Amino acid sequence: MHRALLVPEILVQIFININLSQPPSSQILGWPQSSTRKSLASLALTCTIFHGLAMDLLWSDMPGLRPLLGCVTRLHPVIYDPESKYCWSQDADPLAEHEFHQFLRHSARVRNITISASNYFHLLEALPIETCVFPNLRSLSWLVQRTEIGDLPFFLAPTLRRCYVSELQLYMKHIGARCPDMEDFTIREDSDRAQLSETLRSCKRLRRLQCPPFDSAAWMHLSTIPTLLELKIFIRRTIHYPLDNLNFATFLHLTHLSLDGIEVASAVAIIQHFKFPSLKEFEMHVRVLPWAEAEQLFHALSLCKASQTLEHINISSNNQTQEHTSDSLTAVRQFLCFKELRTLRLSVHHPIYLDDDLLFEAMTTWPHIHSLSLMNWHPSPATLTFRGLFAALRLCLHLQDLQVSVDARNIDIGPEVESFQHTSLKNLTMDLCELDAVNVEGVARIIYSMLPAVSQVMCSNGGVPRLWHNVNKHLDLLRNKPSSAPDHRNTEAALALS
């Protein structure tokens, strides 16, 4: 054996690379099988030096309890019998005391586990509830619903850092005390707000939190956690979410705030009461966003203490409101205070005002912008011209995605006399409302000449798909057209020879 293999640091890197070299190729009895796993098993049997590390990697990620139960001598034949499949556990007796050490033989090596069914929980009935089955567990995905209160404690190790649960379990009320190093906590389904609040207030070191809405006490507690970086609140439908007794507080290091499904008034209250001096991303999605509430939300966001840090803004709504107004949202102007903006995406079922001067001012203000999407769901006349569009594009050479409404009826720019090309823009979506008055060939020639990276133009509102089909057809013809221009270098050479 080479001396290098006796150095633990080198051996660790070699085995880790082996473990990551190939993805699982098939699924046998719920345990991924691949040549990589076979290699690790062979290495574990090679020598004492290899055994410990190879076994750690082999048992690190578990899809459930079955592989551990397979270590029990009595259960091994039925578990790995292809004919028994999943029905074997129904008639199996709980583990006896002398079988516990077989079941726990490799459990200390498990770092990540996913529990998606409760089929095997009855086999652990005789196991003392204070037993820590997985003393080194780092990540738990708990997809089981309506389980007995005694099932979960086996999996809540003091070392747990990441926990994903489909619904909040009663035993999780003090999860922060039992798992003091918890960093990443996700609760998918709606929960009792008081219970959820008590659970969150037990956590002291969270870095990422995704969960349904919670009460004001939990908000205030989270503001005191200096490690918190990402906070996502979501619910499947827009609900009334009263927030009372909010005090002004600062989320010192929070970089990502996402609000999905809560009413606008609550979102405004959160933005107005809390400071986010490190915020980089803000996302919000609601089912319906009335015009007045949209303006209120944009204004509150423009006044928050993140004007020097916010880089990504994404605000959207599902359904078009029934209100009728001739006014346009002043959304773009509300966001001019964010000097570091990289992404701005607005899909709010309201016309968003944008003309040549405003787009030029915006691009002057956002020198780092990479994606600008202003979805226009209403068939309102566009006030942005091609000349204004390309004047603004000269200021943002890093822009890759663009979605705006352009007045394509008046082609006020000549691609033959313009030398400017924007080579970074790859995805272009243009919302047009007029069909018959558009010079399809002229629009295609402008895009072909000045936006060489754009392969086709998309239409988001679905109003004039035939127009964009024709534009893209002309684009293909221009790209595939053989060059008929004379080679001036050859002409000059021929004249010189004559």
pLDDT digits (tens, 9 = 90+) for 131-178: 788 999 999 999 887 655 567 888 899 999 999 998 888 778 889 999
Residue 5 structural domain: 1-58
| Total tally of structural domains belonging to the chain | 1
- Domain membership flag for residue 375: no
Q: Do 392 and 413 meet the contact criterion of CB atoms below 8 Å apart?
A: no
| pLDDT of 49 over the 90 cut | no
- Domain membership flag for residue 225: no
- Domain membership flag for residue 317: no
| pLDDT of 31 over the 60 cut | no
Q: Do 401 and 348 meet the contact criterion of CB atoms below 8 Å apart?
A: no
- Domain membership flag for residue 68: no
Helices 48-58 & 35-44 angle (0-180, nearest 10): 140
- Domain membership flag for residue 16: yes
- Domain membership flag for residue 242: no
Q: How far apart are CA 202 and CA 209, in angstroms?
A: 13
CA angle 112, 118, 119 (to 5 degrees): 110
Residue scoring higher pLDDT (249 or 82): 249
- According to DSSP, residue 95 is labeled P
Mean pLDDT score across all residues of the chain: 83
Strand partners, 322: none
DSSP 247-263: PPEE-TT--EEEEEEE-
Strand partners, 164: 141, 186
- Looking at residues 266-295, what average pLDDT do you find? 92
Q: How far apart are CA 489 and CA 282, in angstroms?
A: 55
What's the alpha-carbon Rg for the chain, to the nearest Å?
A: 30
Alpha-helical (H) ranges within 171-287 are 175-178, 193-201, 216-222, 264-273
- Domain membership flag for residue 253: no
| pLDDT of 224 over the 70 cut | yes
Alpha-helical (H) ranges within 82-126 are 100-103
74-83, 166-175, 179-188, 236-245: range with highest mean pLDDT: 179-188
Q: Do 353 and 329 meet the contact criterion of CB atoms below 8 Å apart?
A: yes
H helices then E strands: how many in the chain?
Answer: 17, 19
Q: Residue 486's pLDDT band (boundaries 50, 70, 90)?
A: very low
- Domain membership flag for residue 14: yes
Whole-prediction pTM value?
Answer: 0.84
| Backbone torsions φ then ψ of 20, nearest 5 degrees | -100, -5
